[in-house]
Amino acid sequence: MDIISQLQEQVNTIASLAFNTFGTLQRDAPPVRLSPNYPEPLANSSESTTDIAEQPKLMSAVLVKAAKQFDALVAALPVSEGGEEAQLKRIAELKAENDTIGQELQKQLEAAEEELKQVQELFNQAADNCLNLKKLD
C-alpha cells in the first residue's frame, strides 16, 4: 500500500477511535445533579466504577498511539525538492506532456473512427452484393 493510502487509512482509524472513545465516555459518564431542584442521581456500583475509571486511560492511550503512527507516516513522506517554484514548473511540464499525449490520442481516435467507417461501408457493399446474387438466382 502506498504511503498516501496508509495515511488515509490511519486517519480513518483515528476517527473511528475518537468516535468510540467519545461515545464510551458519554455512555459511561457518572450522572450529575443539574440543579438543587432535582433529586440526587443514583451512584454506580463500585465494581463498574473501577472499570469505568480505567477505560478512558486505555482508550486515550490507543488514540495517542494511532496519532503517533500518523505522525510517523507523515514524517516518511518524501521531502519536495526545490520548493514551490520547482513543483509548479514540474506541474506545468506534466500538463504539457499530458496535452501532447491527449492530442496524439485524439488523432488516433479520429483515425480509428475513419477506419471504422470504411469497414462499415465495405461490409454494407459486401452485404448488398450477397443480396443481389441471391436475387439473380
Q: How far apart are CA 48 and CA 33, in angstroms?
A: 20
Q: How far apart are CA 75 and CA 83, in angstroms?
A: 17
Q: pLDDT for 55-74, tens place per residue?
A: 888 999 999 999 999 999 99
How remote is the C-alpha of 82 from its chain's centroid?
28
Is pTM beyond 0.75? Reply is no
How many other C-beta atoms can be found within 10 angstroms of the C-beta atom of residue 7?
A: 15
> 70 near 10, Cβ under 8 Å?
yes
Q: pLDDT for 3-58, tens place per residue?
A: 899 999 999 999 999 999 999 888 888 777 778 888 777 766 555 666 777 888 89
Q: How far apart are CA 35 and CA 84, in angstroms?
A: 58
Q: Tell me which long-range contacts 3-6 makes (C-beta under 8 A, separation of at least 24).
A: 3/73, 3/76, 3/77, 6/73
How many other C-beta atoms can be found within 10 angstroms of the C-beta atom of residue 20?
A: 13
For the chain, domain boundaries = 1-30+51-78, 83-136
How remote is the C-alpha of 28 from its chain's centroid?
33
- pLDDT winner (highest mean) among 24-33, 80-89, 116-125: 116-125
Return the sign of the alpha-carbon dihedral for residues 126, 127, 132, 137. Answer: positive
